[in-house]
Structure 1
Amino acid sequence: MYLFLVTTLIGFLSVHVSVLTKYISKIFNRIPQAERTLLEERRELLKQQAALSVSRDFVKHSKLQRKINAIDEQLKESGSKRNGNNFIYNIGINYGCNILLSVVMIFLSVYYRKVPVFIVETKYNLWPFGGLISFPNDVENSVSVHFWMVSCSSVARLLKN
């Protein structure tokens, strides 16, 4: 039962690893507190600027606009640095998860190569594909880890599309 659940989970995760890495990337790629304070300050300045009339309070309006422009420049600079780092983190997380899942799949395939995931009842004959389905096993009507992982990955791809 344990082997059935683990191989099914790994088979589905191998296809949907992008969903997993998206959530992990959100954890690592948060906006820093300094940028949040700059964004909040920008919002406040925009509210103040919207309350002013351009024709009557042109001086105050233009001072606020200069402050907003300065904040925008700071946000662009810090955002470009952060986006460069985020790209590297996203690539690393994506490939790291794929490598980890591949290693786990190889380990399960090698370690449990002679252990059937489950055995089909004898009243259901798997002939002529029984040998392929239970390839390294000698147990009749059994499903091997290799075949089960490929089947789960195929079903997950079909469900994804």
Structure 2
Amino acid sequence: MKKIICGISFILLSSLCTTAQTDMRIGAMLGYGSEIESVGIGVVGEIPLFESFTIAPSFVYFFPRDHVFVKTSIFEINGNVNYYFMELESFAFYGLGGINYTNVKVKADGFGLGDYSESDGKIGANIGGGATFNFGKNWVPFAELKYVISDFDQLVINAGIKFNI
């Protein structure tokens, strides 16, 4: 029974992917997080699912923020679905939604107590939108704005470039 379900799932997913845009993309981006008030760097992928929908996994590491004796750093892992609702020749707009894992690490030095370090991770949701700009090349610049809804809420602005693979 498991083999039959797996076989049917494979056939359905294969047929969905054949109707999608043919280009998978991978790229790099710069971001800014409103709560950590820091710039981050990251990687992003875009995998066609079916017409107008893509899966967009990403990873962003925000540079540590120093507050006197305390250093805070954040990274996030995202699994978004992008829905392209307007596609023109030179640009396209999309809405995004997905799941987010954010990890915050706080490290304190001093205070006569020695070194102290603690980290915590939370799962949340992403909601937002973005745009891609088509120059007819093998690469596509993009910009997006999203809000992370979790115990570590923050607004994140990303911009970068994706390469067709």
Give TM class, smaller chain: under 0.3
The structure whose residues are more often strand, as a share, is 2
Structure number with greater Rg is: 1
TM-score (norm 1): 0.20
> Which one scores higher on RCO, CA 8 angstroms, separation ≥ 6?
1
TM-score (norm 2): 0.20
